[in-house]
Amino acid sequence: MTQEPAPYYLAARYSNKNSAGKAYNPIQTIIFEVDCDLSAYRFFEQKERKWYVVVIGEEPSSQLQERLATILFTLTRGVRVTLDSGTLAELMDRRAEQTQIGPWVERHYHIDQE
C-alpha cells in the first residue's frame, strides 16, 4: 500500500485572535488576487487555547511560498507548527467541500474563547 504524499501547507500558531488576524487577513487577500489554488483557515484550538492560521492546497510558486511564509512567521511572528494528521485531514476535507461550491467561498464562525 502506497501512502499519498502530504498536501502542501504552512501553519502558524498565535497566542490570540488579533495576532492571527494580522496574518490571516492579508493572506486571504493574496489568495483572492493571485493565480493559485490555496485555501486559508484561521481557527481556535480549545485544548491549547491558541489560534492557528493555515494555508493549504496546491503548492504555489516559490515566490508566493516565500511571501506567505514571511507574513506567517516573520511579520506576524507566528510559530511554525506541524499539524497532526487528524487536523490536516479535516482541513483537506473542508477544502474539498468548499471547492465544490465555487472558486471563492468565505465563511466566518464566531466563538467565545478569550
Torsion of CA 19, 20, 22, 28, to 10 degrees: 180
Whether 10 shows a pLDDT value over 90: the answer reads yes
Distance from C-alpha of 88 to C-alpha of 109, rounded to nearest angstrom: 19
pLDDT grade for 113, boundaries at 50, 70 and 90: very low
**Structural domains of the chain in order of their starting residue, each with its CATH number:** 8-101 (3.30.70)
Convert the pLDDT of each residue in 67-111 to its tens digit: 999 999 999 999 999 999 999 999 999 888 877 665 554 554 555
What distances in angstroms separate CA 21 from CA 48, 52, 54, 85, one per listed residue? 18, 10, 12, 24
- Per-residue pLDDT, 114: 47
Convert the pLDDT of each residue in 42-62 to its tens digit: 999 999 999 999 999 999 999
**Contact yes or no for 1/33 (Cβ under 8 A):** no
Higher pLDDT, 2 or 18: 18
What distances in angstroms separate CA 97 from CA 21, 41, 93, one per listed residue? 24, 14, 6
- The whole model's pTM is what? 0.83
Distance from C-alpha of 58 to C-alpha of 110, rounded to nearest angstrom: 28
